[in-house]
């Protein structure tokens, strides 16, 4: 089992001066919104309130370009379409969380039900096939693939709202994670960017009063002139580099596991 080493400190300036002005404005707008703080999650874990943890997500949670599938663990099946859990030994933030859980809470199950290249719209349309236990703590992070697979940001908002309502009703508790920024927002195939995904996801969480943390903000805060965005996300999309996985895992621990 690989546990990521924490070597990056998140903090400092919210947005580097050389960042695009529109991104700085959007970041400040999100920072000004009151967010329900997930201060009780770790206490609930320690008290044994949950029987298991499930991750629902896309490429940023499977660890695309870093991992293969574990064909002994099926997480989705509908007709001929079958998906499996990512392997447990690749150096990703999700596997660092798995290792932490297995060490601290060995009685709990841990399932990474993220599926590469799927959108929030797809998950909403397939939600009856997504298995969630009533005593589970579920973390959801989607939106990266909606940029090209979903027609508009309004359609993303509608479907993601519906899917999160479904998950929240099934699980004992739910935490929404806002997806990271990407290097590919300007490609012609993209209908909107990750800045819009982050803003709309934050708005959904505020309206529905969901616990919410932001990997978008974690990466933005770590980005400086000497450590540009490509230090933390790969150039082919919002797929974390090794340093990116380290940054968001440290941020996750600060927000959830303390």
> Is there a domain that residue 4 lies in?
no
The answer, yes or no, to whether residue 144 has pLDDT greater than 90, is: yes
Domain at 227, CATH number: 3.40.50.1110
Domain coverage including residue 235: 21-256
Percent of the chain with pLDDT over 70: 81
Average predicted confidence (pLDDT) for the chain: 85
Which residues are bridge partners to 78 per DSSP? 81
Residue 22: per-residue pLDDT: 55
The answer, yes or no, to whether residue 162 has pLDDT greater than 60, is: yes
Up-side HSE of residue 232: CA atoms within 13 Å toward CB? 28
* pLDDT, tens digit (0-9, with 9 covering 90-100), for 111-136: 999 999 999 999 999 999 998 988 99
Contact status, residue 88 vs residue 1, Cβ threshold 8 Å: yes
* pLDDT, tens digit (0-9, with 9 covering 90-100), for 32-44: 443 444 447 999 9
Contact status, residue 94 vs residue 55, Cβ threshold 8 Å: yes
> Is there a domain that residue 231 lies in?
yes
Residue closest to 172 by CA, chosen among 258, 44, 85, 61: 44
> Is there a domain that residue 2 lies in?
no
H helix intervals, the chain: 21-31, 41-46, 59-62, 93-104, 120-125, 146-149, 153-170, 194-208, 215-222, 242-256
């Amino acid at each position: 089992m690989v546990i990521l080493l924490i070597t990056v400190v998140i903090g400092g300036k919210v947005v580097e001066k050389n960042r695009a002005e529109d991104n700085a404005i959007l970041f400040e707008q999100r920072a000004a919104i009151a967010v329900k703080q997930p201060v009780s999650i770790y206490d609930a874990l320690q008290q044994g309130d949950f029987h298991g943890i499930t991750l629902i997500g896309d490429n940023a949670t499977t660890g695309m370009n870093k991992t293969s599938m574990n064909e002994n663990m099926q997480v989705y099946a509908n007709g001929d379409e079958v998906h499996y859990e990512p392997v447990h030994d690749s150096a990703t933030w999700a596997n660092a969380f798995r290792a932490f859980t297995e060490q601290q809470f060995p009685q709990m199950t841990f399932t990474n039900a993220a599926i590469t290249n799927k959108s929030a719209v797809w998950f909403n349309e397939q939600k009856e096939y997504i298995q969630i236990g009533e005593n589970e703590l579920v973390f959801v992070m989607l939106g990266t693939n909606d940029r090209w697979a979903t027609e508009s940001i309004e359609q993303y908002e509608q479907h993601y709202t519906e899917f999160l309502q479904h998950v929240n009703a099934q699980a004992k508790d739910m935490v929404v994670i806002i997806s990271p920024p990407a290097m590919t927002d300007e490609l012609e195939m993209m209908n909107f960017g990750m800045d819009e995904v982050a803003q709309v996801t934050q708005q959904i969480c505020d309206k529905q009063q969901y616990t919410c943390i932001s990997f978008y903000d974690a990466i933005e805060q770590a980005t400086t002139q000497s450590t540009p965005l490509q230090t933390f996300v790969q150039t082919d999309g919002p797929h974390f580099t090794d340093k990116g996985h380290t940054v968001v895992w440290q941020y996750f621990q600060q927000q959830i596991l303390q």
